[in-house]
Structure 1
Amino acid sequence: MTAAALHRALTDPGPPPLRALPAPAAELLSTLDAPPRLAAHLRAVHDVAWHLTAALADWSPLLEFDRAAVLFGAATHDIGKVVHPEELRGPGSAHEPAGRELLLRHGVDAALARFAATHAGWRGGEVDLDDLLVSLADKVWKGKRVAELEQLVVNRLARATGTEAWQAFMDLDDILTRLAADADRRLAFQADHPV
């Protein structure tokens, strides 16, 4: 891959318009000479996480979560695919622990590196709301709705805010429906960048 193709994936304004990755994540992708498609994917998921966390903060200002951590997690969750590029074209989970280790080797705090390992392991008992939000963004960016994951988020939202579960469900569903509506454009953006 050329540095120009990676630079394009990191800076291309879209469509759809996607936010830039946090500087430390973008710099790390450049240092690792990451595949442009991976950078495009991480931008799409990061952008969805940005909108999701903004909507949740508006929904309940009392809801406690670490927005900066969620955004960094979304921006780096698949970074292990630098080590396992075959997983850019097909299924696989080897990138998850590899991503966590890669981030740790590059000085990323363990509390942030964990998202590379937990983004697909949301069924585990040790995940918190931040982990679930990264997992949710990683599904919704492409329009995928996962009822079991969404129910876990609804349960956390209801418990944390004292909101009735049905109301939390309805409000989250509205947010996710809006986010999923642009999935085709995000998928096209990602496909426009080479593996």
Structure 2
Amino acid sequence: MAELKAPAHLIEHVQLVWEAGAVLLKKCRQLGLDLDYSLVELGIAVHDLGKTVHTVELLGPGHRHEEEGQRILLSRGVSAEVAKVCVSHGQWERMACSTEELIVALSDKLWKGQRVDALELQVVDRICGMLNVDRWELFTDLDSCFEHIAADGQKRLNKSGGT
């Protein structure tokens, strides 16, 4: 981020997404999930890196930053697995994603209080599959975790200037 002269707003965004992600990762650890926790942490840190080039997307919609972030990371020798998160966090509905990538995408929604049923259900189903349990055995617990994170969304949005 420093090398690419990331604006303070982008760094702050990453920190706020990290707050949401940290709660999700804590829940995953409590459940004993065998995840690549480092991939989730790195993914959160770099998911919007392409916005250092496509700065108009810092405060507005757009997807050009996704491919750009992946390109930047690959050009700097970062693994394809980490670089893919730049694309998958915004295109999780249209591509095959790892559980770790889905958790990054979910963190990027929940930080601002946004609930996305389809994404949440994918995460729930992945976790249940990893633990070999029925969706309804964990749904309420995971849904409560998601709601807990989302409930602080307005507070995080206020910290970020409302965007």
Unaligned runs of 5+ in 2: none
Question: What is the alpha-carbon distance in structure 2 between the residues aligned to residue 175 and residue 163 of structure 1?
Answer: 18
Is the Cα contact below 8 Å between 2:20 and 2:111 reproduced in 1?
A: yes
Give the number of equivalent residue pairs: 163
Other-structure match for 2:123: 153
Is the Cα contact below 8 Å between 2:88 and 2:95 reproduced in 1?
A: no
Residue of 72, 91, 102 corresponding to 1:132: 102
Other-structure match for 2:138: 168
Extract structure 1 runs of 4+ deviating beyond 3 A: none
Query: For 1:22-171, what aligned pairs fall within 5 Å after superposition?
Result: 29-58=1-30, 60-61=31-32, 63-171=33-141
Note the C-alpha offset of 1:125.
Answer: 4.4
Question: What is the alpha-carbon distance in structure 2 between the residues aligned to residue 115 and residue 125 of structure 1?
Answer: 11
TM-score normalized with structure 2 length: 0.94
Is the Cα contact below 8 Å between 2:47 and 2:89 reproduced in 1?
A: yes
Note the C-alpha offset of 1:47.
Answer: 2.1
Is the Cα contact below 8 Å between 2:16 and 2:156 reproduced in 1?
A: yes
Percent sequence identity over aligned pairs:
36
Q: Deviations over 1:120-157 (max 9, x none)?
A: 11113421101110000000000000001111111111
Question: What is the alpha-carbon distance in structure 2 between the residues aligned to residue 185 and residue 72 of structure 1?
Answer: 24
Q: Match for 1:88: what amino acid? A: L
Unaligned runs of 5+ in 1: 1-28
TM-score normalized with structure 1 length: 0.79
Q: Deviations over 1:7-48 (max 9, x none)?
A: xxxxxxxxxxxxxxxxxxxxxx11111111111101111221
CA RMSD of the aligned region, Å?
Answer: 1.5
